[in-house]
Structure 1
Amino acid sequence: MKLAEIKTRLAPLLASFPASLPAPLRRGLSRLAARTARAGLTRPGTLRPTRRGLLFGLAAIPAALLLYVLVLIPFTPGISDIRKAKSEQPAQVLSADGKELAVFKWANRDWVPLKQISPHVVAALISTEDHRFYQHHGLDWRRIASAALHTFSGDRQGGSTITQQLARNLYPDEIGRAPTLTRKLKEAITALKIEALYTKDEILETYLNTVPFLYNAFGIEMAARTYFDRPARSLDVLQSATLIGMLKGNSYYNPVLNPERALDRRNTVLGQMVKRGKLDAARYEQLKKRPLRIDFERQTEPPGPAPHFAQQLRKWLIGWADRNGYDIYADGLVVHTTIDARLQAMATQAVAQQGNRLQAVANAAWAPRAGWAANKPLVQAFVRETPEYRTAVAAGTAPEEALRHLMADSAFLRALHQSKTRIQAGFLAIDPRNGEIRAWVGSRDYTQDAFDHVQQARRQPGSTFKPFVYGAAFDEGKTPDDTLVDQPVEIELAGGEVWRPSDEGRPTGRAMTLRDGLVYSRNTITAQLMQEVGPARVARLARNMGVRDSQLDVVPSLALGTSPVTLKEMVAAYGTIANAGDYIAPTMVTRIEDRRGNVLQVFRPARAEHALPAAATQTLLDVMRDVIDRGTGAGIRSRFGIRADVAGKTGTTQDNADGWFILMHPELVAGAWVGFNDSRITLRSDYWGQGAHSALPMVGDFYQRALRARIIDGRARFAEHEETHVFASLGTQLRGWFSQLFTRDKASETTTPRPAPRRPALPAQEAELPPPAGAASAVAADSDHDESSLALDRGETVIAVPPPDLNAGSAPVAPPPAPEPAPPPNLPPASPTPATPPAPAPAPTPTPTPTPTPAAPITPLAPTIITPAGQR
């Protein structure tokens, strides 16, 4: 018989081979069949085997399977892997001072030894899942044969032992879940390995500690706490039977969602215990009539003292472990971080206390019959954006009917109201000398909002972005004593639109130094300076200083912080100012050790990158000292009594949607952001909405605690830049003479003198920009306009929200003991001769606190005018 004819006649036989067999094995069986035909094992001209061929075929099938098993052995988990699975140790994260911050477990599990598990659990498990557990060695051949016969007869049954189930639980990726011959063989091989390595009690202990029970509960201990609020050692026979009954199908027999099915399955398990002699029949008759009595409580891992930091670290550590051949969930890594546990606790407390005060303001501003009225278009817009509304419309409900139905659902509206009006905050502190992160608070409460407002959230920074404009100007050679006139500014944008930045009061027409322009956060001065320096130069400087992940739109309105950025970027950039113009990338880890204490890798601070010349940086730093001494950040001195050498900047965006404050100390730079997850929700209070009153107290409280605890040195001063060339002193004097000469001439022509640079005054409000043509990020940013006057201009009803206790059920809300007064409508007159800014004193005295002056109403602007709002 020719080979081609043999292959043709063998085609039906080959088609009957199991489809799950690998291609190499199928090809091998094909060749074997061909050779048997040529060897005379089939009758000539037919596929009918001879007696010799039949015997040969019967022997060939098990031989082929045995060969395949031998081939699969290297592809199953090795003995070392099995040992590792039993002795796995999660990575431990420690603070710089040795306190535990987090433990990275792969599952929410508490491993308990077998002797601390109720014997009812073991009896129920063995009776139901594998009653010959102590007689076999991993594979129960009698059960396998029985399961095969039932399966062939149409009643599919499983034949897996407890050891085989353990193999699947431990190695789901290596073994798989597909119903194929390959998977069953891998499972059997692994089960034999486990039996060779473990005792029976060790197998039971491992199985009961790794089996899943829904709701992120792994192992019998977490299951006992989740469903019955007790430890595994205290489970009675009914509770044990309920949990073991879930193993056949966690979701199908879920006692929380499917109690009737769970009850029937529990009684089936009790019946199996009677059948195997583990339970008395009379006792069974009594027990099967009892209800489930579930005491459900979802178990969550404790968030730890720095949960947002830990989550960001976990992402980084997984990548490091993959590159270096480690498992963060099993290898017992010890990660030493840069977090200072004391500073972290102080930051968390400061955010919590100020957040509670502001929440009371928000509750009053958005009360159900006030800001949250059902007829408000904004509330209806929120409802239309919910999944419930979209689901109803997708199911065929008319949009208006779906809206009406949800607006009548009080529980739904209450939950929506709470989520939308929950005040949020972010806080970050970095050591500017090495870039090490010392404190990280991503939200007010990690359990309520796990979203990270330090690294994930991008919000408009408002006036906290202005130092980049002034830094670029000082780098070009401008000085703090250079002046610009506080006058209306019109800047033509692409598309023919005109940008007219404004401040709270009308322009004074007076000359103002650049120093006072930043100290009082004047938008008109900053916008003119931006035109002289150029948006491209400012954006480039901001990137060099640390704003490297967010996109910056190169448009004039960038000067007032219209491009959204992260708090982490802004604090890192201010760290560049505090570090004499050298940027150091923030770092989280100092070293990683193994479980025995051996150092695996040490992480040095990132290489410093020169971003701004030291002379320009020192000038900018000196001007930002004045922001704290007499400007918008004066509360640091007057309210918190901080006398250290510090500098900083506040920020507030349009309608008080975002409040910012960043403070620099030679040893620590810290910043806070305050707002709502939805920027359409604001505090609706011109007092509390400003960064000087929302974010500044968090930072001030933090620094006050850190200085009192002597964690940072209150006597430390920023490094002074000294010019080294021979004519430095002479050059300084000449520049001063020329500056005085030309400024005196210019001042003599000006009828109104500029403000005195040292006179204490309250911050002028900053304005916010609508987007210029083609620039989506130029949405309103820096805002210090009084919200009430703006609303009146728009014809809206204004609800005044006073600072004191606004919510009877909340913590009392009282204004600061010494609040910074609102900036006067007109800046105070100053002497015609520019004053040279004095050197900062080591211990500045508190700024006097004048009585707040009501903001002057703002004249409504023409429709073509874009009014950015400035911040303090």
Structure 2
Amino acid sequence: MGPRERRKHSRSKTHTVPIIIASFFGFILLAGIAFGVGMLANVSRWLSDLPNYTDKNQYLVSEPSTILDANGNEIATLYVQNRQNVALDQVSQYVRNGTVATEDERYYEHGGIDLVGIARAVVVQLTGGSEGASTITQQLVRNTILSEEQFDQTIERKVREAWIAIKMEEIFSKDDILEMYLNTIYYGHGAYGIQAAAHTYFSKNCSDLTLAEAALLVGIPNAPSTYDPTVNPDLAKQRRNIVLDRMLSNGCITQEEHDAAQAEDIVLNVTETPENGTLAYPYFVDYVKSVLQEEFSTDMIFKGGLTVKTTIDPTMQAAAEQAVDETYTAQRADELDCGAVAIDPKTGYIKVMYGGRNYNDAAGAHTNHALARRSVGSTFKGITLAAAIKAGMDPSVTLNCSSPMTIKTYSGGTVTIKNAGNHNYGVRTLASATAVSSNTAYVQVQAAIGYNALKTMASDLGIDTENETAEFRGQDNLTLGTCYLTPLEMAEAYATFANGGYHRDAVAITEVLSRDGSQLYAHQDNPTQVLTTGQAEAVTNVLETVIKSGTGTGARLSVDQPVAGKTGTASNGDDRTTDVWFVGYTPQLCTAVWSGRSSSNEPIGYGTTQLPIPIFRKFMNAALKDAEHENFPTGEKPTFKQNSSWNFSGGGGDTDSSSKSENTESTDSTVTEEGATEGGTTTTEPTPNPGTGGDTGGSTGGSTGGGGSTGGGGTTGGGSTGDGTGGGGTTGGTGGGSTGGGTGGGSTGGSTGGGTGGGTGGGGTTTTP
């Protein structure tokens, strides 16, 4: 091709491009016109049946909603309660300024919809952030007169909302609209409107709120259950500080005022008001309301005439309340509180929610202890066990359970861990180490499979590991329960083991009906398989030994049902117990029980055997007294890695314990499980029940106890589950041990022989912790 031809071709291409572009934009223009014509017709139709938005009273009219228990009995009537409407000039200027700065900073500049805010929100979302674009006026419309349409994501609903917002601002002043908004918004804890919120949280009028108090309240409506300062004070404080930041950036306060307010701690003065309409189970009703708030508007919940069907079982709830009352009375523990949750593993239904001993106790400030975060202690070892089994670790693998022990972590560092009382449990299988709740064994397990394996398993089991207050922060002794979880989370997690490895989210509401009976919500069962059934069976088999012969023998049931579970205890930096737990399950029911004080760091002077275990036993026996016998699900045996492939810091990994290092158990007569101190918290456990034996040969027996000079002898006998002496051995020795302790040997109690009573065969007297 010559130069002339190339120029001709080039000129032709140059002319073609504008033609294509012009054609394209012409098409867009024609399409836009056609779309616009059709849209105008639709808009006219959409705006033909608007509710009455000109009457202020339309924003306050309500029809009560009803909450039902699992049997269809009414347990609460929800309506606009604890509301005291106030004029805007009676509201603290801090509240007004903070609300506008946080919810709609261009409120006094737009006419109902904010195009600038919409554009900004689009940019933020496109860059990976999150920001809403609804104005205060739009929120008021959506949460009140258009509440039944709020989940409709169509253009029709958005056009109707925007149109009413614009019209409202033509009819009402900005101050009128802000006043309506502040009198209708939900501030959590049963408080509707800013005046009720001020009375509820601070026992004062909203006109008298300080800057820090006002900012705290302004932050709550974004997520009332999350930012309730009586339940989650740390999250509420973080949200308060965000409000203060926005007030500063909008020129509402000075830097000095900002800094002083952020430095203040949250100090509440809660005024308890009657829960109008709540007939029973106030903690559960509060929880149901918070769940509803995440799906429906406040206006729809308390004015929409809904029927809410829930999962709470009145018979089981009564049994739980009785179990707590009887146990606390017997132990004279009236100054302590309790939280408990029972879940049906097959459905995820919450059958029991026990939030505290006195809902109206001002000291507890309505704190729902079923949802409160506490250090879980060794109950977390059940989660570690599941992670280990999923990673291919056989429960028969052996570990050195000596104490103290410096353990090489998964990341290459080291951490020094001790068992309770610095007790040496010798070389044991993972199953036996679980029964006695050996800390050194479980930190080695975590080191072998890695922190992320534990965190992932916890998340898969339904635990909110990303919640800052849960404190999943890479700690090398996470397995000892150095995180903060709720009874609801623990019950949901362990229910997965009971259900053959299938996890279900905890469910409180099964169905919601509108005032005309149409279905607005129905729970859909959507289980997720976290473990194979065989893996879950392996976890359960190990946790059954905890109750058969370990730290949880007091949880044995009189009803004909198999039972598994794990104890857990947490202490402060002075090794004084602050929290005691038991999480256990049968095929039909999984229950988590916590006991302690409302102030989490105060010592309580009680152990697991005195409070949570008896509560669990009493409740489960009553709840399951008429249940038919069931077995746990069984499945194909998991494929495990070679035991020798696990390189534990303390040795072990081989099932042939006779070739391992010599065991040297101490001669303490009482053993408590003790974890590494983490942030001022130590996990401790009670004395385990005797009789499981040393699994791999027990201990040498020391100078006073058990068998001969070389240890308890045998591969299945010898050592004690938790005493300090090692029990009998195959040779009997001279310490008063068993003459044939090949299958169990020692006892929990004796410090100088085979058992408390120095038995002559089979290992002495059994003592229950």
Distance 2:396 2:507 in 1: 37
SS of the residue aligned with 1:89? Answer: coil
1:478 matched to 2:393: yes
SS of the residue aligned with 1:651? Answer: strand
* Cα distance change of structure 1 residues 604 and 855 upon mapping to structure 2, 3 Å threshold: farther
Q: Residue by residue, what CA displacement relative to the aligned partner does 1:353-377 show, whole Å, maximum 9, x if unpaired?
A: 323444x347xxxxxxxxxxxxxxx
Distance 2:612 2:530 in 1: 27
Q: Aligned residue for 1:354?
A: 327
Counterpart of 1:462, as a letter, is G
Q: Residue by residue, what CA displacement relative to the aligned partner does 1:186-231 show, whole Å, maximum 9, x if unpaired?
A: 99xxxxxxxxxxxxxxxxxxxxxxxx9x999x9xxxxxxxxxxxxx
Q: Aligned residue for 1:553?
A: 473
Distance 1:603 1:344 in 2: 22
* Identity within the alignment, %: 25
Q: Whose helix proportion is higher, 1 or 2?
A: 1
The one of 708, 713, 725 equivalent to 1:826 is 725
Distance 1:651 1:340 in 2: 27
Q: Aligned residue for 1:615?
A: 534
Distance 2:70 2:752 in 1: 47
1:693 matched to 2:592: no
The one of 493, 508, 512 equivalent to 1:573 is 493
* Cα distance change of structure 1 residues 854 and 570 upon mapping to structure 2, 3 Å threshold: farther
* Cα distance change of structure 1 residues 105 and 744 upon mapping to structure 2, 3 Å threshold: closer
Identify unmatched segments of 5+ residues in structure 2: 1-49, 84-143, 146-163, 178-192, 200-204, 209-271, 645-652, 688-719, 732-743, 754-767
RMSD: 4.8
Q: Aligned residue for 1:423?
A: 336
The one of 420, 442, 466 equivalent to 1:503 is 420
Counterpart of 1:703, as a letter, is M
Distance 1:181 1:482 in 2: 76
1:339 matched to 2:339: no
Q: Aligned residue for 1:100?
A: 74
1:674 matched to 2:595: yes
Distance 2:174 2:542 in 1: 74
Deviation of 1:578 after TM superposition, in Å, equals 1.1
The one of 452, 476, 479 equivalent to 1:536 is 452
Counterpart of 1:747, as a letter, is S
Number of equivalent positions: 476
Counterpart of 2:354, as a letter, is V
Deviation of 1:631 after TM superposition, in Å, equals 1.5
Give the TM-score taking structure 2 as reference length: 0.54
Distance 2:384 2:462 in 1: 14
Distance 1:683 1:90 in 2: 43
Deviation of 1:478 after TM superposition, in Å, equals 2.5
Deviation of 1:505 after TM superposition, in Å, equals 5.0
Q: Aligned residue for 1:42?
A: none
Counterpart of 1:100, as a letter, is E
* Cα distance change of structure 1 residues 348 and 822 upon mapping to structure 2, 3 Å threshold: farther
1:466 matched to 2:440: no
Q: Aligned residue for 2:152?
A: none
1:310 matched to 2:285: yes
Q: Residue by residue, what CA displacement relative to the aligned partner does 1:534-583 show, whole Å, maximum 9, x if unpaired?
A: 22212221221222243423222111111111221111110111121121
Give the TM-score taking structure 1 as reference length: 0.48
Q: Aligned residue for 1:134?
A: none
Q: Aligned residue for 1:407?
A: none
Deviation of 1:513 after TM superposition, in Å, equals 1.3
Higher relative contact order (CA 8 A, sep 6+): 1
The answer to whether the 8 Å contact 1:96/1:339 transfers is yes
* Cα distance change of structure 1 residues 450 and 665 upon mapping to structure 2, 3 Å threshold: farther
1:634 matched to 2:553: yes
Q: Aligned residue for 1:564?
A: 484
Identify unmatched segments of 5+ residues in structure 1: 1-73, 110-169, 188-211, 219-248, 253-296, 363-421, 736-741, 756-760, 787-820, 833-846, 857-870
Distance 2:656 2:320 in 1: 51
The answer to whether the 8 Å contact 1:308/1:450 transfers is no
TM alignment of 1:285-296, pairs within 5 A: none
Q: Aligned residue for 1:91?
A: 65
Distance 1:675 1:734 in 2: 40
Q: Aligned residue for 1:644?
A: 561
The answer to whether the 8 Å contact 2:81/2:276 transfers is no
Distance 1:506 1:598 in 2: 63
The answer to whether the 8 Å contact 2:417/2:675 transfers is no
SS of the residue aligned with 2:353? Answer: strand
The one of 646, 653, 676 equivalent to 1:769 is 676
Deviation of 1:339 after TM superposition, in Å, equals 1.2
SS of the residue aligned with 1:92? Answer: strand
The answer to whether the 8 Å contact 1:545/1:612 transfers is no
* Cα distance change of structure 1 residues 250 and 620 upon mapping to structure 2, 3 Å threshold: closer
The answer to whether the 8 Å contact 2:461/2:530 transfers is yes
Distance 1:484 1:336 in 2: 50
The answer to whether the 8 Å contact 2:67/2:76 transfers is yes
* Cα distance change of structure 1 residues 298 and 101 upon mapping to structure 2, 3 Å threshold: closer
Distance 1:539 1:589 in 2: 28
Q: Aligned residue for 2:133?
A: none
Counterpart of 2:66, as a letter, is Q
The answer to whether the 8 Å contact 1:661/1:692 transfers is no
Distance 1:763 1:78 in 2: 75
The answer to whether the 8 Å contact 1:430/1:571 transfers is yes
* Cα distance change of structure 1 residues 783 and 733 upon mapping to structure 2, 3 Å threshold: closer
Deviation of 1:694 after TM superposition, in Å, equals 1.6
The answer to whether the 8 Å contact 1:95/1:336 transfers is yes
Q: Residue by residue, what CA displacement relative to the aligned partner does 1:690-734 show, whole Å, maximum 9, x if unpaired?
A: 2232211111111111122x2xx240111111359xxx9xx9999
Deviation of 1:854 after TM superposition, in Å, equals 8.2
TM alignment of 1:47-446, pairs within 5 A: 77=53, 88-107=62-81, 301=276, 303-322=278-297, 327-358=300-331, 360-361=332-333, 422-446=335-359
Q: Aligned residue for 1:720?
A: 634
Distance 1:344 1:438 in 2: 7
Give the number of the structure whose alpha-carbon radius of gyration is greater.
1
Deviation of 1:445 after TM superposition, in Å, equals 1.2
The answer to whether the 8 Å contact 1:581/1:614 transfers is yes
Q: Aligned residue for 2:122?
A: none
Distance 2:306 2:527 in 1: 29
